[in-house]
Amino acid sequence: MTEPPRSWRSVLPHLGYELPADRTPDGTDGPVTVGLPLELVRQSVSSREYWPIPEPVAQLYRAWRPAPLWRARRFEAEVGATVPIYAKYEGGNISGSHKFTTALAQAYYYHRAGFRELVTGTGAGQWGSALAAACAAFGMACTVFMVGRSLRDKPYRGSLMRLYGAELHASPSPLTALGRATDERLDNSLAVAIGEAVEYARGDAKRAFCIGSGETYSILHQSLIGLESIDQLAGLGATVDTVVGCVGAGSNFGGVALPFFAAARAGELDVPAALVAAESSASPKLTRGVYAYDHTDATGSGPMEAMYTIGSRYPIPASHSAGLRFHGAAKLISAMRHHGQISATAVGQREALSAGRAFATTELVLPAPESGHALAAAARIASGREPGHTPRHGVLVCVSGHGLLDLPAYDKLLAGLPEDRPADPEALRAATAALPAVSSIEGF
């Protein structure tokens, strides 16, 4: 495969149900799309399956797409796999992650809609880096609020954003009312960083808040990962019956997994694949959260979406979950989880970083800590250690980005990283107790 696909593929026509409508903070049903370019709105709600990639975006994709895929034989041996493990590597671009795929598409659509500055929140920094570079590509300004603890751990992520002209703020910051009102000790919350970005973007009509993970259109853009993987596996004469990706909000997992779901529903695959989302045990929304309406940020002023969530105000504990620290899963991923179309498993930071180190020493590619969660889950599944999963053909795992700017996390692993602290059940209950359950409203 020498050329990336020419179209994105939507899974919406294959679900068999409609996604629950968003709700405004006052409880009104309906889409909340203020400031969102019309084409991104269409990509989120239309039953259209294939969406042609605009040529300016396609030209930029060709710099690193198709992203490589290979059989990770040495990693297989290291983890005791009994079936092949295939790795799809998304770290070969300036952002170092899959995030650049949707960042370029979104910058294109926002620029065409007349916006001149994009504002965002970022956890581990991959999305902030991706958006900064994408804004530079289309001549736009960029402002990023990055989780403060993450920025201190990974200062060179900040350097990369500033290199591309972005204005960077550690969150919570004194720049916004939300930041000033937030306890400085709560510096591990992506919900707060996103909330600050939402508030700041409202200060100028030429600014737009932009997010890169949980929205349905961003998952659509990431479908290139799975579309390429299907073609590349066919080129190798290989078959997989399990697909694994890590989940913060869901764009990486959705990107690699949902094209397999669509292809299976369309009768294009001989062997359907189980789709497994690997999340952090520090933010276990899919495995320990509730399916409810919750805010996507900590301001309480934005839309409420139907999601698996541990609560937007749940205090995420200090960990190396990196970009997986978001409190909720995308509404598309959440609906598929609710309908039994995907499954999920939680991975602790020690196991994730150990899997990342094993991949680095065997395959000579250093994964981001987020990707370590997927690699740990893939190792469990391929070696028969994950209950409920017995693959017979092979496992595909998405290595969502490189870890070259995440070396402090690996340093701490080498120094004897403390054992993981499980999420506090009482804190989980308290953070979700007042959220309206989706089933009580939508009849799901």
13 within domain boundaries: no
Report CA-CA distances (Å) from 180 to 172, 207, 261, 301, 391: 7, 21, 44, 17, 50
Determine the Cα–Cα distance for residues 88 and 282; give it in Å rounded to an integer: 25
Determine the Cα–Cα distance for residues 257 and 254; give it in Å rounded to an integer: 5
Question: The pTM is what?
Answer: 0.94
Q: Is the dihedral of CA 194, 405, 110, 226 positive or negative?
A: negative
Residue 19 tokens, joined: 């996604």
307 within domain boundaries: yes
226 contacts 258 by C-beta, under 8 angstroms? yes
For residue 34, what pLDDT is reported?
58
For residue 27, what pLDDT is reported?
59
For residue 366, what pLDDT is reported?
98
Q: State the maximum Cα–Cα separation within the chain, in Å, rounded to a whole number.
A: 57
Nearest residue to 307 (alpha-carbon basis) of 327, 324, 321: 327
pLDDT (tens place) for every residue of the chain, 444 residues total:
788 999 999 999 999 999 999 987 665 555 555 579 999 999 999 999 999 999 999 999 999 999 999 999 999 999 999 999 999 999 999 999 999 999 999 999 999 999 999 999 998 899 999 999 999 999 999 999 999 988 998 899 999 999 999 999 999 999 999 999 988 766 777 778 988 999 999 999 999 999 988 899 999 999 999 999 999 999 999 999 999 999 999 999 999 999 999 999 999 999 999 999 999 999 999 999 999 999 887 666 667 999 999 998 888 776 666 678 788 999 999 999 999 999 999 999 999 999 999 999 999 999 999 999 999 999 999 999 999 999 999 999 999 999 999 998 999 999 998 777 778 899 999 999 999 999 755 555
Bridge-based pairing of strands 290-295 and 304-309 is: antiparallel
Determine the Cα–Cα distance for residues 53 and 183; give it in Å rounded to an integer: 43
235 within domain boundaries: yes
Determine the Cα–Cα distance for residues 276 and 179; give it in Å rounded to an integer: 35
For residue 273, what pLDDT is reported?
97
Q: How many CB atoms lie within 10 A of CB 271?
A: 13
257 within domain boundaries: yes
Determine the Cα–Cα distance for residues 156 and 143; give it in Å rounded to an integer: 17
179 within domain boundaries: no
Determine the Cα–Cα distance for residues 260 and 253; give it in Å rounded to an integer: 11
> What domain range is 314 assigned to?
55-96+217-433
Q: Is the dihedral of CA 271, 280, 124, 410 positive or negative?
A: negative
- CB burial of 337-369 (b: ≥16 within 10 Å; e: otherwise) equals bbeebbbbbbbbbbbbbbbbbbbbebbebbbbb
Domain CATH number, residue 74: 3.40.50.1100
Determine the Cα–Cα distance for residues 308 and 306; give it in Å rounded to an integer: 7
Strand partners, 307: 292
For residue 150, what pLDDT is reported?
87
42 within domain boundaries: no
128 within domain boundaries: no
Give me the number of domains the chain comprises: 1
317 within domain boundaries: yes
Determine the Cα–Cα distance for residues 82 and 85; give it in Å rounded to an integer: 9
For residue 441, what pLDDT is reported?
53
